[in-house]
Amino acid sequence: MNAIDLLAERANKTCAVGHFDGANGAAVPSPCIAVCRMSPERGHCEGCFRTLDEIRLWSSADGPLRRRIWQQLLGRAGIALPALETPS
């Protein structure tokens, strides 16, 4: 299984338990899949697709910011989840 498949699986599990729902007060889990290598040409982790700034922010980020980071990294990875689509 490649990093995108692992990340999609993690995102689907996170979505299934409601962590992408803004009304859910539980902590939003990290997207880390333990493939921690920065892509020099793209500027993000090859495993979780977060930028260095997003990785640095994660531990102090609140739920809404964590959900935005998830949305951005999934966009970078080309993974779409209905629960993360931006409302019109």
The whole-angstrom separation of Cα 68 and Cα 58 is: 11
The whole-angstrom separation of Cα 40 and Cα 44 is: 8
Does the structure show a pLDDT above 60 at 86? no
Q: Which pTM was predicted?
A: 0.88
Decide if 55 contacts 61 (C-beta within 8 A): no
Decide if 71 contacts 86 (C-beta within 8 A): yes
Token duo for residue 69: 């980071």
The whole-angstrom separation of Cα 7 and Cα 14 is: 10
Does the structure show a pLDDT above 90 at 62? yes
Q: Residue 84: what pLDDT? A: 62
